[in-house]
Structure 1
Amino acid sequence: MGYYTPAGGLPGQSELLTDRAIVTEAYTVIPKGVLRDIVTSNLPGFTGTRSWIIARPIAGFATTFSQLIVEIQPGGGAARPEPEAGVEGVVFVTTGELTLTIAGEEHVLGEGGYAYLAAGEEWSLANKGSELTSFHWVRKAYETAEGIDAPASFVTRDQDVAPRPMPDTDDAWATTRFVDPDDLAHDMHVNIVTFQPGGSIPFAETHVMEHGLFVLEGKAVYRLNGDWVEVEAGDYMHLRAFCPQACYAGGPGPFRYLLYKDVNRQVMLTRGGDPRPWG
């Protein structure tokens, strides 16, 4: 089991400009060739760190979350990574080792390591190893719900959570769910979806949840709002709410992606008793 991790760098001056990057009203595709040194950002409070910000709330793009690929050199890290008290997060490690300290307890996350970090949690991270570490960091403002306690932070691994096959798919399509989908405490899911070669989503999913999809392994052809788009390990897709979506896994190995979606909350139409402005 491997997870694609960008290495940065720049293409040679003799290479063609043509790539697969595309931005539409319904979806965006950021291919792995875009993740170069020149588009990285430094983060306040971090040392020995750079990041690719691949999703953030802006007009025409993400509305509920941000997603970063964070790369930390040995000795780097942050004592207080999350600057906003009301923001929850998920960390997923793709290479190296990340030391994550939650409420004073230290956890070492290797490749496949996963952590849910509750809003308001006291946590820090560091690369105490001798090699570079890289991880995905998904952030969302936690939306409280009356009568439901907020979830607690936890740490696990991809390798320790059995994928759940989708019904009537003969194990061709499965989802690694890190939280119980019926647990209303959680207002977002960050899962891993796996398709075996030839597996597919056999209908055009069209739903209220927006998605961030980072391809960890393999390749596929994705149907996005009527367009067929080829994607491979290292590519990122953002799908706005109600963007029709389906896919075929191309093989020869499994096709796997890290998936964000917002879930389990009523659509709120007012703010403080006043109608929300839309448009």
Structure 2
Amino acid sequence: MSALLELQSVDKRFGGLHVTRGVSFALHAGDRLALIGPNGAGKTTLVNQISGVLGCDSGKISLLGEDVTRLSPAQRVRAGLARTFQITTLAPHFAVQRQIELALFEREGRTGRMWRSVDAYPALQAEAQSILTRFGLSDHAGTATEDLAYGEQRLIEMALALALRPKVVLLDEPMAGVPKGDGNRLLAALDSLPRDLAVLIIEHDMDLVFRFANRIVVLAEGAVLADGSPDEVRRDPRVRAAYLGN
């Protein structure tokens, strides 16, 4: 089975600081991969390289078999990649459903026809409503995102990413800042993601990591320290010493 996302010897330096060092791994359809490691290991830098926010000094990134190493973030989205960020990047004054509809318009290449009423696109309206239902947000369709709890805003970010119908989605610390009471809703949303979607998640909550992931890649000092199943990683003495604790 061919990889949906493949990294080959990805490298990044900032001056004398070597942040990612020859990182190689691949994601296939249905993978639930957690990227973990101590602070400063290079996790966010690597995700920024995958999404195109940062370039690569050397190495190659392929998406659905195509070299995207030099493509912009927008081009990578159109090629099948979506991501969320550690800090929410939602439009605070827009209603929830309108934000989903805008994402659908962008996906369909219809943003140049936004002068027409959204009522002229009943199929997109129905899809937006279906997405809101999947994430338990139907009751907030007309609510501005600034008026929602932080955990609900994180759900909206995931919904926006899924609205693009990606093949690969990158989730950067989805539980960051989420109150304990909203955690179960986020976990349920993660469990409901399409089974053929490849998911890479950065997360410091080890309970979530070991519940969600079927594979874990551990970064240490910018390089891959371990890559295996949760049980294999849990038992790896190098991982325990570097991150999980003895």
Do they fold alike, i.e. is TM over 0.5?
no
Task: From the two aligned structures, give the one with the greater strand fraction.
Answer: 1
Task: From the two aligned structures, give the one with the greater helix fraction.
Answer: 2
Q: Normalized against structure 1, the TM-score is what?
A: 0.28
Q: Normalized against structure 2, the TM-score is what?
A: 0.31
Q: Which has the higher contact order (CA 8 A, sep 6+)?
A: 2
